[in-house]
């Protein structure tokens, strides 16, 4: 286990028990970090997630905040609250995301705005808000959570894929501009991960899920949230000091066939 002792980290979209953000927050806490969990979920969900993080013997301070990242100013308010509580921010993980699975031609402007606001505007403005803090500290890590659908297409995912592809460009642009400040910016693109929606789909249509796995995943199984968290943990440490502007696609070979 890599160490994040003394590091102060912010993870968005961290309330869902089986979610990637929740798992990242727990992995950070296990590695000794102080963690601020941000989400639009309920206070009960975040209480439970924070309690799990605090249960790790090496965990630092664990705080959380309820934030609607879809509204203007929401991302900046989140960073301000985390900084007020911790006094520094070493790592920002922009994980929060939503989908709107519709056929192209059926999207409403409201759906477009909602997905763009959470998946793209939120990491953009959260990153802008944290950069002055990281500059004053001599550096930091910003990690965007993308998707394999930034690289390939799939039915009813045009809008989601659009935002994730734009997030990868943002990763490269930020890396180009911020490297001189020792702010390393990278992204992780998960493939099909066994979060609650896919668990539910496995339960209701096991044969269909098996066919889809056989068709799209050379490794023959879904990924686990912990397998994404392990890569994010690596990016949050001091080890990858020469890794800048890259997207690590953790997808079981989904985009390679």
Residues carrying an active site annotation: 160
SS3 at position 107: coil
Distance CA(59)–CA(91), nearest Å, equals: 15
Question: Residues near 196 by Cβ (< 8 Å), separated by ≥ 6?
Answer: 16, 17, 18, 19
Return the DSSP state at 18. T
* Distance of alpha carbon 217 from alpha carbon 215, whole angstroms: 6
Neighbours of 235 (CB within 10 A): 21
61 CB-near residues (< 8 Å, 6+ apart): 34, 35, 85, 86
């Amino acid at each position: 286990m890599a160490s994040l002792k003394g590091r102060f980290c912010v993870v968005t979209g961290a309330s869902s028990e089986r979610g990637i953000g929740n798992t990242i927050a727990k992995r950070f806490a296990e590695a000794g970090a102080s963690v601020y969990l941000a989400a639009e979920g309920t206070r009960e969900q975040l209480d439970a997630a924070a309690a799990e993080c605090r249960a790790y013997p090496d965990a630092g301070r664990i705080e959380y905040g309820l934030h609607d990242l879809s509204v203007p100013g929401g991302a900046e308010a989140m960073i301000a609250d985390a900084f007020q509580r911790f006094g520094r921010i070493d790592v920002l993980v922009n994980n929060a995301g939503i989908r709107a699975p519709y056929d192209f031609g059926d999207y409403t402007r409201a759906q477009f705005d909602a997905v763009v606001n959470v998946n793209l505007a939120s990491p953009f403005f959260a990153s802008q808000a944290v950069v002055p803090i990281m500059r004053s500290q001599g550096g930091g890590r910003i990690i965007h959570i993308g998707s394999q659908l930034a690289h390939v297409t799939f039915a009813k995912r045009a809008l989601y894929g659009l935002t994730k592809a734009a997030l990868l460009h943002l990763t490269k642009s930020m890396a180009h501009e911020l490297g001189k400040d020792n702010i390393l910016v990278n992204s992780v693109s998960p493939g099909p991960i066994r979060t609650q929606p896919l668990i539910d789909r496995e339960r209701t249509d096991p044969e269909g899920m098996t066919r889809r796995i056989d068709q799209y995943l050379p490794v023959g199984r879904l990924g686990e949230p912990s397998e994404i968290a392990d890569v994010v943990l690596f990016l949050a440490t001091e080890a990858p000091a020469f890794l800048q502007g890259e997207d690590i696609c953790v997808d079981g070979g989904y985009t390679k066939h």
